[in-house]
Structure 1
Amino acid sequence: MNRLPYRDAADLPPEDQALLVRPVNLYRAMVNSPGMTRAFLGLAHHIRHHSALDARLRELAILQVGWVTRSPYEWSHHVAIGRDFGLTDEDIGAIAVESRGGTSGLEPAARAVLRVAREMVAGADTLSDATFAAAAAHLDQASLTDLLVIVAFYCGVVRFLGAARIGVEDSYQPCLDEFPLPVDEQPEKN
């Protein structure tokens, strides 16, 4: 059960109602602090619409964060969002293969992005020189910088989701049913 109340636009003063233009549970809980929500949405909007990182690679990185942290909310939302940005079912399925230490059919740039995300989820100073170099071989400086910020941002998002116990909306449950998160399997440590 969620620890923060879910607010609806009608619960908010007129100047804050636009914060729930997408009334998903994450924002409905976060809007308990409108100023924080505005700041959060600013970066989230930039990531989604103005990042130098290719949208498909961005979504793979976010999904990798959701997979490693076993965040049903993040995973389900970005399965749906990722499809809107060009992810295929094979791309989504490859995350499990790569997370187990296997080699999927993804291209080298995507595999490097996933590895960056896995290593960054593991801790603050866990991105190896080899993994950084592999990503840098495929990304320009702006895209590489954005990748690191995006993964760090979504590490924070999944921590908030878990701490506040934000529930997955019924409309996103089919994504979890189609691509369930593992329950017993531990992610591969790189």
Structure 2
Amino acid sequence: MHTDPSRLKPIAPGTRPELAAQEARIAAARGRVSPLYQVLLNSPPIAHGWEQMLSAVRNHSSLSAAVRELVILRVAVLNRAPYEFDAHVPHAQAAGVSQAAIDATRRVPMAVDSPWRDDERVALELADAMTRDVEVPDALFARVEALFQGQQLLDLVATVAAYNMVSRLLVALRVGH
């Protein structure tokens, strides 16, 4: 982990009048223009698309909030993205995820004796496979498909994929350091 500042200068909210409407939309959706979005505003089209995609993943998912947040935490751990992990702990707690379950997401490899429910465990196993190996073994996919079908299955895979994108951008640009 580096303590260097972000590799791309953030755009401070309110400093570029042409971004005012976009900053207002981000703040309305997220409560603030976070350091991540300040960096993303270097490319207004990317910031817009990012906000649309991540809002769909976070706010319109068919997954339980607990499964969604545990998967996000796990991806952050695997990709060594502490800023993302720390940002999502309060969301996990608000979703009713226990501190023990949050702490267990930090264990690599995954602990056998973890406090997760069956659906949480298989979702986390999927997150591990997609993040570490990209390909998902057929046997694991069959276990995932037994618990998540249709929109839930797509929402789960999209959540893992989207948060791999988030954490990789954060790490590459050293956002939040």
**Structure 1 residues 30 and 19: CA distance shift in structure 2, 3 A:** farther
State the TM-score, normalizing by the size of structure 2: 0.87
Q: Distance in 2 between matches of 1:152 and 1:32?
A: 23
Match among 31, 39, 47 for residue 37 of structure 1: 47
**Structure 1 residues 132 and 152: CA distance shift in structure 2, 3 A:** same
Task: Check conservation: 1:73, 1:167, Cα contact below 8 A.
Answer: yes
Match among 124, 145, 167 for residue 158 of structure 1: 167
Task: Check conservation: 1:26, 1:166, Cα contact below 8 A.
Answer: yes
1:124 aligns with 2:128: no
Task: Check conservation: 1:69, 1:158, Cα contact below 8 A.
Answer: yes
1:177 aligns with none
1:3 aligns with 7
Instruction: Kindly provide the amino acid, as one letter, of the partner of residue 139 in structure 2.
Output: A
**Structure 1 residues 122 and 35: CA distance shift in structure 2, 3 A:** same
Superposed CA RMSD = 1.6
SS in 1 for 2:151: helix
Q: Distance in 1 between matches of 2:26 and 2:147?
A: 37
Match among 43, 48, 57 for residue 58 of structure 2: 48
Give the Å deviation of 1:95: 1.6
What residue ranges of structure 2 are gaps of 5+ in the alignment? none
Moved over 6 A (4+): none
1:61 aligns with 2:71: yes
Q: Distance in 1 between matches of 2:106 and 2:58?
A: 23
Percent of residue pairs bearing the same amino acid type: 31
| More divergent stretch after superposition (150-159 vs 100-109) | 100-109
